[in-house]
Structure 1
Amino acid sequence: MEALVDPRPLRGEPISLDLLNTRWRGDQLFHDPDGLAIWLASNGLTDRAPDSEATLGALLRTRDALLALRTDPDNPDAADALNAVLAHGRIRRVLGPDGLPHDEPDVTDPTWLPAWLAADDYLRLLARDPGRIRECVHENCILTFFDTSQNGRRRWCDMARCGNRAKAARHYAQQTKEAQKG
């Protein structure tokens, strides 16, 4: 079987933001017949959750709740929707084979595991630093990222993609302005 390739321009973000980023190009990824399988593989969940309509439905509900919270963090309906996803599981503390404590997700229905992990991850990011969850400032980009830069001033999802476009547009505007003066 040929390996499925994730076509999205920004990968490697925490799972909650990666789920938000499935909206890229008009939700193209989840409309592709292999889209859910690609997303599950990109997040290391291929063997842990089924590639099914039920899994996709749970993810879409979670994505809608996350998007509503990004738009309005004080939205009680969005908080309720995210809490409804979280009600499908919990963290269970176990003693691992290495003799150290581990936190394991305990989700009884595997179709909810990816959605639950994304919802739980979003809470983790909020607890870590909600100000570092950012949307790309490029006017034509809808991608979300977690700013891990040392100074916390990252503005673009990807410097090579959106950052260079913004710089090129500024340069072009400056050249046009100078040409009109001269």
Structure 2
Amino acid sequence: MKMINYLASEEGQYLLMWGIEGTNWNMEDGKHVPNDDLIEGFQTDFDKTILDTGVRKWTWFVKNGNGTDGTPYDVSQYKVKETRQVAMNHFGENDRWDTAEFAGLTPAGSTPDGLKWQKIQDIYDQEYPKIVNADSHDAAMEEYDKMISEMNDAGLEDVEKVITQNYQERMKLWNE
């Protein structure tokens, strides 16, 4: 528990996600500042940088957001927001969308509806290639109708109710 508490602490987060002070980053004016080669490494070869430096190799108990000095807990997100904003300025108003509100709405795996959801995913995984590889439009539609029928039999309506309920609960939280 002491190790878990340490890794979940701010100091532990920076150790896991930024590496070693003086090697991977330095403290300047009270803020964490990553070495340029670390940032460049994450931008050019993310996986190799993890292997070479050990930074982000263990992503246990990771917190999102920023530490008390305002820098992100995850060094790979350092100044990414600024870079993203520059990129977003080149997009039109309808060229992008945020799908965060739809993530993680499916039923919990250990519930009866979660088991139905798993069965529905299994049906999709088995049937979708048949639809894509069908010889004709009619054959594809036949496979699609079969897939939907099997999903309905597996409890799709119940799963959709859970997803809708989870979405409505999330929107209540987000709109408070």
When the two structures are superposed, what TM-score results if normalisation uses the length of structure 2?
A: 0.22
More helix by share: 2
Instruction: Determine which structure has more spread, i.e. the larger CA radius of gyration.
Output: 2
Greater RCO structure (CA 8 Å; 6+ sep): 1
More strand by share: 1
When the two structures are superposed, what TM-score results if normalisation uses the length of structure 1?
A: 0.22
